[in-house]
Amino acid sequence: SDFNFDYRVSFNDEDKGSIHYNYKDRPFFSSEMPGISVFAKEGEKIYYTYSTFMRGLDPFITTYQLLDLVPKGRDEDDNDNYKMGWVRHNDSY
């Protein structure tokens, strides 16, 4: 499905360099970005009612809320465009 591409949270090789994400142009840093969209159906019509990206998703990820309570918080680097440079996958160390 092209759904994630249509709502600008998935990107392909042609997008490398610059992407339009969270309503502005940004440097490409991942082929998949976080986002949530909400739709409403009324009869046969479907309405796109809401989207949120990046920090708007924090309430859904309880790890962030716990990290925000500790002294160093998320320990984010101000130069980190994506603000998730601290994330390490088990197979990427």
Per the listing, tokens 């603000």 go with: 83
Q: How far is CA 49 from CA 36, 38, 41, 52, 92, in A?
A: 11, 6, 10, 11, 37
**Model pTM?**
0.63
Note down pLDDT in tens along the chain; length 93 residues: 899 999 889 998 888 888 999 888 988 888 888 899 999 999 999 999 999 998 888 888 888 888 889 887 777 766 666 566 666 777 755
